[in-house]
Amino acid sequence: MEDLHKHWFPHCLFIHYTPSFSASGPAVVTRCTRRFSTSLCGPGRCYLTSFFPFSALHFPQPRPATLPRSFPKSWTQRWIHAQLSPSSVAMQNNHHKEHLYKILVIGDLGVGKTSIIKRYVHHNFSPNYRATIGVDFALKVLNWDQETVRLQLWDIAGQERFGNMTRVYYREAMGAFIVFDVTRPASFEAVTKWKEDLDSKLTLANGKHVATVLLANKCDQGRDVLTNNGIKMEQFCQENGFVGWFETSAKENINIDEAANCLVKHIIASENDMLQSEVPDTITPQLDKDKAGSCSSCFRSQ
């Protein structure tokens, strides 16, 4: 008999076989060059092993002429949304633009990173302290100038700076908060180390550092560091590449939203590669009249 070679079944696979015939039974495949797993069973697929009855082979129907050449746009958008990383995704859905940004929250152990995130996302505060192990996550959704901004907040444990995982945690982030405790000078001294670690492991596509805001947390408990001197804080931030700084209190909800808005403005400005942005053109400390003793500054995007 004449050998058959390379039979192609639409939506299926290539099969090499040599059939033999007898008067007493149906044709039998006596030689099959491959074995296929049971995962290939189903509509439009074949499952073959040696000595598989030829009559039992499933021949799928030809490709219908009406089969669309591409998936509906809505399917494509959903698949892309599920596959893309959260670095700086901007999607157009019915003329409504959505942004997805990954934001890091880093700083020494016990400075209040988790409490800040809980206040910002869930609008509550818990006095019970529980140390974060590794990394934790939260999602904040904002309506921003008729657009939707989704913030993935990565709460990174304070001891992680001494490990090897921060490079993995930092990957594809678009912005960061570095937090210190105003009642603990040692946590302020660690700020520069956190900033150096961040800058050495994470840059934007254009080679610039990600926008970073400094948070002087627990300002409701008094101050043992130089946040009393706004001018020196401005100088410190500019020398170390911060786009702004805020005295914050997760307990009293002081400057949490303001700090986040400052960071988002700078992230959007850097994403759009604009020299000018909606960020206030000032480097002067501002005293919030409604929140006595709260000092902050959000710098103009460079």
Query: Which residue from 10, 8, 6, 26 is spatially nearest to 18, judged by alpha carbons?
Result: 6
- Residue 15 has a CB neighbour count (10 Å cut-off) of 19
pLDDT in the model for residue 245: 95
> Could you give the CA distance from residue 83 to residue 71 in angstroms, rounded to a whole number?
16
pLDDT in the model for residue 47: 38
> Could you give the CA distance from residue 250 to residue 60 in angstroms, rounded to a whole number?
63
> Could you give the CA distance from residue 153 to residue 121 in angstroms, rounded to a whole number?
9
The answer to whether the pTM exceeds 0.75 is no
Which residues face 92 on adjacent strands?
Answer: 97
Domain positions in the chain:
9-56, 86-298
For strands 14-22 and 4-8, give the pairing: antiparallel
Indicate the fold that domain 86-298 takes in CATH: Rossmann fold (3.40.50)
Query: Which residue from 105, 104, 140 is spatially nearest to 122, judged by alpha carbons?
Result: 140
For strands 175-181 and 211-217, give the pairing: parallel
> Could you give the CA distance from residue 84 to residue 77 in angstroms, rounded to a whole number?
10
> Could you give the CA distance from residue 279 to residue 265 in angstroms, rounded to a whole number?
6
Residue 8, token pair as written in the block: 């192609």
Q: Does an H or E element contain 7, and which?
A: strand 4-8
Indicate the burial class of 3 (C-beta count within 10 angstroms; 0-12, 13-18, 19 or more): exposed
Averaged pLDDT, groups of 10, the chain, 302 residues long: 41 41 42 39 39 40 45 46 47 68 96 96 90 91 91 92 85 96 93 96 90 95 73 92 95 96 93 54 47 58 56
pLDDT in the model for residue 201: 94
> Could you give the CA distance from residue 266 to residue 186 in angstroms, rounded to a whole number?
28
Phi, psi of 100 (to 5 degrees): -130, 115
> Could you give the CA distance from residue 148 to residue 6 in angstroms, rounded to a whole number?
53
Radius of gyration from C-alpha coordinates of the chain: 30
Phi, psi of 39 (to 5 degrees): -65, -15
pLDDT in the model for residue 127: 86
Query: Which residue from 105, 86, 116 is spatially nearest to 258, judged by alpha carbons?
Result: 116
pLDDT in the model for residue 283: 44
pLDDT in the model for residue 154: 97
**Contact at 8 Å (CB) between 128 and 115?**
no
pLDDT in the model for residue 297: 67
> Could you give the CA distance from residue 193 to residue 199 in angstroms, rounded to a whole number?
10
**Contact at 8 Å (CB) between 237 and 295?**
no
